[in-house]
Structure 1
């Protein structure tokens, strides 16, 4: 898991600093801005929350208590 996180951070940071990709996304080449960290958090946060929820049932119960009202409205 740690190797996956390291690889994702390295690849995303290299992509975000690339001059050509920065031109297409209207960001400053060579710099990591707030958008980078938001994308990184969304890519790494969801799998980490899933892993923690599978290992610790109380986290899963807490998350489900937040999601349950939304799921009830979809029925």
Structure 2
């Protein structure tokens, strides 16, 4: 059975509301960049960190969407 464009769009809509929270060190590993790069993205306002207890966490899916958009 082939996957249709509608199937893919429905899956994207379902995933759209999920979040993957990671600390800065793990964000760096996820994107294979340095910790300094993640901190630079934050300083430049490209990504937003959210304070959770005493740590700052980042939503990896939002970073992927905002920084690494796929153009048609």
Shorter-chain TM-score category? under 0.3
Normalised by the size of structure 2, how large is the TM-score? 0.25
- Structure ranking higher on relative contact order (CA contacts 8 Å, 6+ apart): 2
Normalised by the size of structure 1, how large is the TM-score? 0.25
Which has the higher Rg, Structure 1 or Structure 2?
A: 1
The structure with the largest strand share of the pair is: 2
